[in-house]
Chain A
Amino acid sequence: MQFSGADRIRRLLTAAAGALLAALMALVLIVGFRLATRIRANVALLQRASLLQTYPSVLSQQLTALRERLGTLEYTGGVHQELADSVAGFDRNLAALERRPGVDRPVLRAAGHLWKAYAPVLAPVLAYSGEPYSDTDFGSSLSVSGKIYYTQVRRAELFAQSSAPALHRRLAALSAALQKRTSSAASRLRLLLSAGVLAVLLLGAAAAYLQLARSRGERAARAAEEQTRDILHTVREGLFLLDADYRIGTVWSQALTHLFGREDFAGLSFEELLRDKVSPATLATATKYIKLLWGERAHENLMKSINPLGQLEVMLDNGRGGKETHYLQFNFHRVLGQQGVKHVLCTVADITSNVMLARELHEAQESAHSQIDMMVSMLHSDPLQVGGFLDTAAAGLKHVNAILKEPARSHAEFSRKLTGLSRELHSIKGEASALNLMSIAQRVHHLEDMVEELKGKSELTGNDFLPVVLKLDELLAHLRAVREVILRLSTLKDGTSSPDGTLSSPILRLRGAERASGADELAATLQGLARKLAEDHGKPFNLSLEGLEAVPAAYLPTVKDCLIQMLRNAAVHGIEPDAVRRAGSKSATGLVRAQFRRLESGCELVFEDDGAGLSPETLKEAAVRKQLLTEEQAAELDNRSALALIFKPGFSTRTEVSMDAGRGTGMDVVAKAVYALGGRIGVSTHPGRFTRFKIALPAPSQTAVA
């Protein structure tokens, strides 16, 4: 709830009005009480005055009655006593009035004077105490004192009769004055009570207004609160305020719970929020950054541009018990108060999909670039080689397809399928990278990744192979596209051939001229691959090739496959990085040598590198890691058998997979190809000095392999 200035003033005014009305009420009550007290006193006086007013006529009547009784000789004692009581009562009441305030003094004094005049005539009457009658035998008659008494009564009666009206007038005036006073006090009281009632009504109205205003304010506040809650529940960004101690305020949006997997945000420090989500270095930078936001040098734009949490990689729960990489974007806005920065408003958004999209876009661009590179490289490569490769690859992929279609039920059958796939794909990849057809090589590499992933699964079904089939289709489409490009390029070259018909481009040579010999083609392919491998792995080495022209045509594909594989192994495993070579006092440039010889008994291919050599121990460890051997079996293995491990399917010493090696398919392909020709393969090595493969093949005429 917010209090604006106007609102505060209104509240103050209402409070002041209330206080005023309350004071007024108190005043009304006090004055009213006093008035009522006075009226009560006046009424008592009025009663007395009214009573007093009756006395003059009462006295006259009593004196008359006394006189008449004396005349008829009746008993006078009772009337005499009544008269005495009346006189005493008059004195008493008059004295009482004289003592009271608020009585009209002059009138009272005048009445007093008139009353005092009664005293001389009344005193002898009241003082009489003798026997007024004398009884004789002839009857009763007034005694002497009785006669005097009679005379005195008669005199008093006459005086009273003459004085009574005047006295009565005075006393009536006194009553009237008192009555007037009383009635004016009463009317004042009435007025006061009216004012009091009005004040009460006003007070009630003010209270009602105040209550109404408050409930309206509360309703508005409740509505505002509800809206805030709705916003905080619905907004997809995490929202919260940081205070000057870098702690989160009590209000935050529901999205935070989802983003950070916790509920206890109120009072949580920003550092605490990020601690287990980011690296210590990032955390330190973020903490410094937050501190800077409170400083005076923090311009909004500048701070935005150096925000270290603009794209933060964090691991979040995926809701299924696992973790997922997400990208969070933190934005900070300073909330300014009168004394500088009051809060920092922090918004957190999950921008994972944006980041992924940007990455895909980047990859798509990269791939477009690589396709252009591919076309350029094709322009420069020998189309004969590329054409040959495409044929081999198509055949290889057909084989892959055939493997995929083979029915399989048991795990062992699936495993066999996968091993077959790996071997075939690996060989295609090798040739593609030898020809520098990286777009193809990368696609095959992806396929290999998928196959590897399947190998890691404990249970396999036919459905698991679906993605592989799809990827394979994509690869075949790509191969068709490459073939198309080659065809177009050659057409283009045909159309622009020089008028005298000389053949200037490699493609024209391919089409018109005699084929380059297989040995030259093989040498070119191998040298190209060697250069590429040396460059990719940062290991400079020279490749020396001898006697390749002596390779019988029937052996050429096998020799080629074997040499490519062994060359890759030599570059990846054999030749050391030049720093290592120098430390071992070797020449910085490595040497890889391949020699083909025809012997009387058949042919011999020797392949050697002057690299690190093979370590039986390393080979054994790798075999155990790959679960090709148990540790016990490995311990019993002699050096010779350990070396033979490299010809086992699925063996590799590389822990990470690169384009050139590490999948564990390689030497088993070589060995298999050699055995298929009826040959043998052997390996010898010296740690730190060389690795040498010797392949013996039978004389070509003795075999039926083409």
Chain B
Amino acid sequence: MSSGTPLERRPVKLLIVDDSNIVRRRIERSQQFDDLQVVGTAANGFEALELARRTDPDLVTMDLTMPQMDGIECITQLVQLKPALRILVISALADKATAVEAMERGANGFLNKPFSDRQLNEAIAELMY
């Protein structure tokens, strides 16, 4: 699938949101796209919003269970802030109700933890390219 605007020329700016340092590093290391540029990592919803304002990302990977502000709330606010933003939810919450809720709030994709490198790259590719 291609998104509305051609993105081939400009690098895709990625913001990683997860309260686990290990998961953040894992995502950062595992993505295999040359033109994907990690512009920030956030450990909770507040940080994510702050970073999104500053760095203007194209893509956000979003954890759902986080301290202070959870993923669902953060997605709602991010979509208001930047409607064209693409959000990939990466969560250990396997129940379908949560996934549907996230999609309804404006997420574009859903990936279950634990995930393989291939699954992550496919999910990103599906959203951005």
Our verdict on whether A and B bind, yes or no, reads: yes
Asked if B100 contacts A288 (CB within 8 A), the reply is yes
Q: How far is the CB of A325 from chain B (nearest CB, A)?
A: 20
Q: Is the CB of B104 within 8 A of A308?
A: no
Which residues A269-311 have CB closer than 8 A to chain B?
Answer: 281-282, 285, 288-289, 291-292, 297-299, 301-302, 305-308, 310
Q: Which of B1, B101, B103, B108 has most chain A Cβ within 10 Å? A: B103
In the complex, residue of chain A having the shortest beta-carbon distance to the beta carbon of B86? A297
- Whether B97 lies near A308 (C-beta < 8 A) is yes
In the complex the two chains form, is A292's CB within 8 Å of B103's CB? yes
- Whether B99 sits at the interface, judged by CB under 8 Å, is yes
In the bound complex, do residue A292 and residue B100 qualify as a contact, i.e. CB atoms below 8 Å apart? yes
Cβ B126 vs Cβ A306 within 8 A: no
Residues on the A chain within 8 Å of B9, using CB: none
- State the CA gap A306–B97 with chains docked (Å): 8
Given contacts A307-B96, A308-B96, A310-B96, contact A302 B101 (CB under 8 A): no
Indicate which residue in A285, A288, A299, A307 contacts B126 across the interface (CB closer than 8 Å).
Answer: A299
Does any Cβ of A come within 8 Å of B40's Cβ?
no
Given the interface contacts A285-B100, A308-B97, does A301 sit within 8 Å of B126 by beta carbon?
A: yes
Contact digits for B84-116, partner A, Cβ 8 Å, 1 yes 0 no: 000000000000110111011000111000000
Contact check, A305 vs B110: say whether CB atoms are below 8 A apart: yes
Complex interface: chain B residues within 8 A of A288 (CB): 100-101, 104
Specify which chain A residues have a CB less than 8 angstroms from the CB of B101 in the assembled complex. 285, 288
Decide if A297 touches B103 in the complex (CB within 8 Å).
yes
Indicate whether A299 sits within 8 Å of B1 (C-beta atoms), given known contacts A307-B96, A308-B97, A310-B96. Answer: yes
A634 → chain B closest CB, angstroms = 46
Q: CA A656 – CA B47 in complex, angstroms?
A: 49
Say how far B73's CB is from chain A's closest CB, in angstroms. 17
A241 to B96, CA, bound (A): 23
Proximity string of chain A (228-241) to chain B, C-beta cutoff 8 Å, 1 when within and 0 when not: 00000000000000
- The complex places the Cα of A292 from the Cα of B109 at a distance, in Å, of 12
A77 CB to closest chain B CB, in angstroms? 120
Q: Give the interface residue-count category, chain B.
A: 10 to 19
Contacts A285-B97, A308-B96, A310-B96 given; does A302 touch B104 at CB 8 Å: no
| CB–CB B96/A285 < 8 A | yes
Cβ distance B70 to chain A, nearest Cβ, rounded Å: 18
A289, B102: Cα distance in complex, Å: 11
**Scoring A residues 34 to 76 as 1 if CB is less than 8 Å from chain B, else 0, what string do you get?**
0000000000000000000000000000000000000000000
Q: Which residues of B contact A305 (CB under 8 A)?
A: 99, 110
State A282–B95 Cα separation when bound (angstroms): 11
The 8 A CB mask of B21-47 against A (1 = contact, 0 = none) is 000000000000000000000000000
Count of interface residues, chain A, beta-carbon cutoff 8 Å: 17
| A565 CB to nearest chain B CB (Å) | 42
Distance, CA A288 to CA B101, complexed state (A): 8
B100 contacts which chain A residues (CB < 8 A)?
A: 285, 288-289, 292, 306, 308
User: Beyond A288-B101, A288-B104, A291-B104, is A302–B96 a contact (Cβ under 8 Å)?
Assistant: no
Which of A282, A289, A301 gathers the greatest number of chain B CB atoms within 10 Å?
A: A289
Do B1 and A302 have beta carbons less than 8 Å apart?
no
**Distance in Å: Cβ of A328 to nearest Cβ of chain B:** 14
Enumerate chain A residues within 8 angstroms of B103, measured Cβ to Cβ: 289, 292, 297-298, 302, 306
Chain B residues within 8 Å of A281, by CB:
97
Q: What's the Cα separation between A195 and B104 when bound, in Å?
A: 73
Please name all residues of chain B whose beta carbon is closer than 8 Å to the beta carbon of A291 when the two chains form the complex: 104
Q: A308 CA to B110 CA in the complex, in Å?
A: 13
Report which residue of B97, B100, B103, B126 has the largest number of chain A beta carbons within 10 angstroms of its beta carbon: B100
| A288-B105 Cα distance, complex, nearest whole Å | 10
Give the shortest distance, in Å, between A60 (CB) and chain B (any CB).
111
Chain B, residue nearest A285 (CB): B97
Tell me the smallest distance from the CB of A291 to a CB of chain B, in Å: 7
Which among A289, A298, A299, A302 has the greatest number of chain B C-beta atoms within 10 A?
A: A302
Chain A positions 323 through 345: 1 when the CB is less than 8 Å from some CB of chain B, otherwise 0: 00000000000000000000000
Q: Is the CB of A306 within 8 A of B96?
A: yes
Look across to chain A and name the residue whose beta carbon is closest to the beta carbon of B95.
A308
Query: In angstroms, how far is the closest chain A Cβ from the Cβ of B7?
Result: 17
Return the contact of B109 from the options A282, A285, A302, A307 (Cβ within 8 A). A302
Instruction: Give the chain B neighbours of A297 by CB distance below 8 A.
Output: 103, 108
Instruction: Find the B residue at minimum CB distance from A302.
Output: B109
Q: Which residues of A contact B109 (CB under 8 A)?
A: 299, 302
B97 touches A292 (CB 8 A): no
A297 to B87, CA, bound (A): 11
Q: How many angstroms between the C-alpha atoms of A305 and B99 in the bound complex?
A: 9
Tell me, in angstroms, the Cα distance from A289 to B97 when the chains sit together: 9
Least Cβ–Cβ distance between B101 and chain A, in angstroms: 7
Least Cβ–Cβ distance between B116 and chain A, in angstroms: 14
Q: 28 pairs across A/B with beta carbons < 8 Å?
A: A281-B97, A285-B96, A285-B97, A285-B101, A289-B96, A289-B103, A291-B104, A292-B100, A292-B103, A292-B104, A298-B103, A299-B126, A301-B126, A302-B103, A302-B108, A302-B109, A302-B110, A302-B126, A305-B99, A305-B110, A306-B99, A306-B100, A306-B110, A307-B96, A308-B96, A308-B99, A308-B100, A310-B96
Across the A-B interface, the 3 shortest Cβ-Cβ residue pairs: A308-B96, A306-B99, A285-B97
Which B residues contact A (CB, under 8 angstroms)?
A: 1, 96-97, 99-101, 103-104, 108-110, 126
Given contacts A285-B100, A292-B104, 15 further A-B contacts (CB under 8 A): A281-B97, A282-B97, A285-B97, A289-B103, A291-B104, A292-B100, A298-B103, A299-B109, A302-B108, A305-B99, A305-B110, A306-B96, A306-B99, A306-B110, A308-B99
